[in-house]
């Protein structure tokens, strides 16, 4: 058209659609074809062209037959030898329903060029199935469905296909263009069904070839009777049905079932060729989505099975945790958390992050969690525990390079002391009862498995009722936010009054704003309210290093247990105290400390100034003379152990309260 909107040239389609007589188009104002007049719309399009811009608009167009269609009109600026030439208008008018399956070129373009590439990146199998059916209907058929072998898409292990030649398939998606909800009722999405031998469906699966069938009234009625679904007879009455096999790596995964009603042209050889090309391309997308879904499900199952299902802590320590998998693009990670109660009112709090994502990160995380439990059972100090983990990571790295970060904290609810160490991890956040939130100054160390470097722990005295927050970097860092901003936001979240708020509410507040990030890393978070064991529930005595100390220890324990109402434990507790104190007198120098803690169990601890670990010894003829007391301890106590302290060691044992 020229600058005024007068038509200068047109193609065959324009002549066939817009005018009864093609000669009437040349020189006609284009605005006359817009229903209701141009109404300024054409002038706006031409003004954009004059400014050198391409523009589009949705306008109602009147055809040569007098019908009206909503059309998308795109106007492109043009320049050439003709001074009157101004613009090229491309008019997209929907094909009339009776004619939409007539032109194979239109069908091929709609199926293979316009729609299919847009959904090729979809990795969710259910979403992909719906997208594929939305392409087939309405561009290729009136109604259809996508069915895949149940053994390929089942979440759990599914039985093998029957031996009688039938096939068990799941209907992944159904689509139809007439708005009749009977299609959904007769062919429900998600249904698992068996097609018996001899049916066209089994022929398609077994042969891996398309199957074309024309369903007369009798054929549709037989299908309805076999499936015991009367509406099927009316839905498929006189329909043309085409089954398109979905083949990947030489195996038939399922098929598309496509039907056209009697009001449209039946399927023919051209349609089979176009449909098979569509099915071939769709098979690659389906296989990619299926494999991704299986690997993702495997990784998620592995990861979630390795995360702790419950957390243990002394009765006075309240612990809450949160774990969020990554965003849609980063879902399986290596973040983990632990809270492990230790004897004597102590607890180990750990949060770690294995670098990377996927199954490898989840497996490494599981190994580290297992090692953490072992090291916690050995009562190692935080720095030494992380050194052992570093050695494990280096051993694993000899085969597959790995590294991880970890924060390891031990809290003693009797003394109120907290010992923390970090290997490349973000600093713990301490929230005091008065509302002040500060990051603990824990000496930095390289991540586990990275390289040489000392790991040093630091001790802090914790106010009663303070909060300790351990977290991974996904909580404070992402692609659009600097980590310093994230750390400042976390400290504000645990600001004034936070120490008195419920931990559930604080966890939710800390996670607000991170759910919608598609690139978000996974997040592990551990929040503990640290309270000391009441003073009346523990007692400490200093004893001299002489034989009389054992007798004195027995008397002190008997009196204390009577005050606590635990007289039934006196005999066992005094015998255990006598053995442990005697052992300390024999092998240690200097003062001995005896501590009794009433918690879920009754814990008896003996501290001395040596670091030698007592061991049960055996000789060929039975027990050796030395070490017989530990046999008594092992028989009477529910559990016992040794841990190192800053001044030496502590030998402890625990009795179960009746």
Mapping DSSP onto H, E and C, the string for 119-154 reads: HCCCCCHHHHHHHHHHHHHHHCCCEEEEEEEHHHHC
Strand-pairing partners, residue 146, are 173, 256
Q: How confident is the model at residue 516 (pLDDT cuts 50, 70, 90)?
A: low
Q: Which of 92-106, 305-319, 589-603 has the lowest mean pLDDT?
A: 92-106
CB 606 within 8 A of CB 623: no
CA torsion angle 629 635 639 644 (round to 10): 10
pLDDT at residue 330 tops 70: no
The full 3-state SS of 323-367, as one line of letters, equals EECCCCCCCCEEEEEEEEEECCCEEEEEEEEEEEECHHHHHHHHH
- Same fold for the pair 310-530 and 538-656: no
Asked if pLDDT for residue 159 goes beyond 50, the answer is no
Q: Is the pLDDT of residue 519 over 70?
A: no
Q: Which of 237, 236, 243 is nearest to 258 (CA)?
A: 243
228 in the Ramachandran plot: left (φ > 0), alpha (ψ -120 to 50) or beta? left
Question: Is the pLDDT higher at 477 or at 388?
Answer: 388
Domain ranges of the chain: 6-92, 104-157+166-297, 310-530, 538-656
User: What CA–CA distance (Å, rounded) separates 105 from 107?
Assistant: 5
d(CA 395, CA 419): 27
Residue bearing the bigger pLDDT, 435 or 39: 435
pLDDT at 547: 81
- Give residue 602's pLDDT: 92
Show the tokens assigned to 39.
């109404």
Helix (H, G, I), strand (E, B) or coil at 81: coil
Q: Share the mean pLDDT of the chain.
A: 84
Per CATH, the number for 6-92 is: 3.30.450.20
Q: What angle do CA 374, 379, 381 make, to 5 degrees?
A: 110
CA atoms within 13 A on the CB side of 396: 23
Indicate if the pLDDT at residue 325 is higher than 80: no
Strand ranges in 462-558 using DSSP code E only, listed in sequence order: 466-471, 523-530, 538-543
* Mean pLDDT (whole number) for 251-263: 92
136-165: average pLDDT = 77
Give tens-digit pLDDT for 87-137: 899 988 776 666 678 788 888 888 888 778 778 778 889 999 999 999 999
Which range among 71-80, 153-162, 250-259, 287-296 has the greatest average pLDDT?
250-259
The tokens describing 599, both together, are 């918690």
pLDDT in tens, 367-417: 888 899 889 888 888 999 999 999 888 887 766 667 899 999 999 999 999
pLDDT confidence of residue 98? 62
Summarize pLDDT for 266-282 with one digit per residue, the tens.
Answer: 999 999 999 999 999 99
CATH class of 310-530: alpha beta
pLDDT value at 647 more than 50: yes
Tens digit of pLDDT for each residue in 450-466? Answer: 867 789 999 999 999 99
Give the architecture-level CATH label for domain 104-157+166-297: 2-Layer Sandwich (3.30)
Evaluate if residue 183 carries a pLDDT over 60.
yes
User: How confident is the model over 213-220, as a mean pLDDT?
Assistant: 81
* Count of CA atoms in the C-beta half-sphere (13 A) of 562: 8
Who wins on pLDDT, 516 or 41? 41
- Tell me the CATH class for 538-656: alpha beta
Contact between residue 238 and residue 260 where contact means Cβ atoms under 8 Å apart: no
Beta-ladder partners of 214: 240
Instruction: Burial-class residue 257 by CB neighbours within 10 Å (0-12, 13-18, 19+).
Output: buried
pLDDT digits (tens, 9 = 90+) for 610-630: 877 776 655 554 544 455 677
Rounded to the nearest 10 degrees, what angle do helices 483-493 and 503-511 cross at?
A: 150
Q: Residue 327: what pLDDT?
A: 56
The pTM is what? 0.64
- Confidence at residue 442, expressed as pLDDT on a 0 to 100 scale: 92
DSSP state of 550: H
DSSP H/E element including 234: helix 231-235
Alpha carbon distances (Å) from 38 to 59, 61, 249, 432: 9, 10, 56, 71
Bridge partners, residue 540, by sequence: 595
Q: For residue range 356-372, list pLDDT tens digits in order.
A: 777 777 788 888 888 99
Position with higher pLDDT, 297 vs 566: 566
Of residues 358 and 160, more confidently modeled: 358
Three-state DSSP class for residue 556? helix
């Amino acid at each position: 058209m020229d600058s005024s909107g007068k038509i200068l040239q047109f193609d065959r389609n324009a002549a066939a659609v817009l005018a009864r007589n093609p000669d009437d188009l040349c020189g006609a104002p284009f605005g006359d074809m817009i229903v209701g007049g141009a109404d300024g719309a054409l002038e706006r399009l031409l003004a954009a062209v004059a400014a050198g811009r391409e523009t589009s608009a949705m306008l109602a167009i009147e055809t040569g037959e007098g019908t009206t269609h909503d059309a998308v009109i795109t106007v492109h600026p043009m320049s050439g030898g003709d001074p009157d030439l101004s613009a090229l208008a491309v008019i997209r008018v929907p094909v009339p329903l009776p004619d939409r399956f007539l032109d194979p070129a239109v069908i091929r373009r709609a199926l293979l060029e316009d729609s299919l590439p847009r959904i090729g990146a979809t990795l969710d199998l259910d979403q992909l199935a719906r997208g594929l059916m939305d392409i087939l209907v309405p561009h290729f058929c009136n109604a259809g469905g996508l069915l895949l072998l149940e053994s390929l898409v089942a979440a759990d292990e599914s039985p093998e296909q029957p031996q009688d030649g039938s096939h068990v398939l799941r209907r992944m998606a159904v689509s139809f263009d007439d708005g009749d909800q009977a299609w959904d009722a007769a062919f429900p999405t998600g249904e698992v069904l068996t097609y018996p031998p001899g049916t066209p469906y089994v022929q398609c699966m077994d042969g891996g070839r398309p199957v074309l069938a024309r369903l007369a009234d009798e054929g549709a009625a037989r299908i309805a009777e076999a499936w015991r679904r009367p509406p099927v007879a009316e839905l498929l009455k006189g329909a043309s049905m085409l089954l398109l096999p979905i083949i990947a790596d030489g195996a038939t995964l399922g098929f598309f079932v496509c039907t056209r009603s009697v009001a449209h042209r039946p399927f023919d050889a051209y349609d089979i060729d176009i449909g098979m090309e569509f099915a071939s391309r769709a098979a690659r997308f389906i296989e990619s989505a299926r494999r991704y879904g299986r690997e993702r499900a495997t990784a998620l199952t592995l990861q979630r099975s390795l995360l702790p299902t419950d957390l243990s802590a002394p009765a006075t320590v309240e612990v809450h945790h949160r774990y969020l998998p990554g965003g849609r693009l980063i879902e399986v990670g290596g973040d983990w958390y632990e809270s492990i109660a230790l004897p004597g009112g102590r607890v180990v709090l750990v949060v770690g992050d294995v670098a990377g994502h996927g199954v490898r990160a989840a497996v490494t995380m599981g190994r580290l969690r297992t090692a953490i439990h072992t090291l916690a059972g050995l009562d190692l100090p935080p720095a030494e525990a992380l050194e052992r983990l570093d050695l494990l990571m280096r051993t694993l790295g000899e085969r597959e390079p790995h590294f991880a970060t970890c924060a390891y904290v031990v809290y003693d609810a009797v003394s109120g002391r907290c010992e923390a160490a970090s290997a490349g991890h973000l600093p713990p956040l301490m929230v005091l009862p008065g509302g002040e939130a500060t990051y603990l100054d824990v000496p930095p160390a390289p991540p586990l498995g990275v390289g040489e470097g000392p790991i040093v722990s630091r001790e802090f005295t914790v106010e009663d009722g303070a909060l300790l927050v351990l977290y991974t970097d996904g909580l404070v860092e992402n692609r659009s936010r600097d980590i310093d901003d994230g750390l400042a936001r976390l400290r504000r979240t645990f600001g004034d009054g936070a120490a008195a708020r419920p931990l559930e509410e604080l966890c939710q507040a800390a996670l607000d704003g991170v759910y919608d990030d598609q690139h978000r890393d996974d997040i592990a978070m551990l929040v503990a309210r640290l309270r000391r064991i009441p003073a009346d529930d523990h007692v400490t005595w200093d004893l001299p290093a002489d034989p009389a100390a054992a007798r004195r220890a027995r008397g002190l324990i008997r009196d204390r247990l009577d005050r606590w109402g635990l007289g039934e434990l006196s005999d066992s507790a005094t015998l255990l105290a006598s053995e442990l104190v005697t052992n300390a007198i024999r092998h240690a120098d200097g003062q001995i400390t005896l501590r009794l803690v009433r918690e879920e169990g009754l814990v008896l601890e003996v501290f001395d100034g040596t670091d030698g670990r007592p061991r049960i010894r055996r000789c060929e003829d039975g027990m050796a003379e030395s070490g017989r007391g530990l046999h008594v301890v092992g028989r009477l106590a529910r559990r016992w152990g040794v841990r190192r302290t800053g001044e030496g060691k502590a030998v402890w044992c625990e009795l179960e309260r009746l």
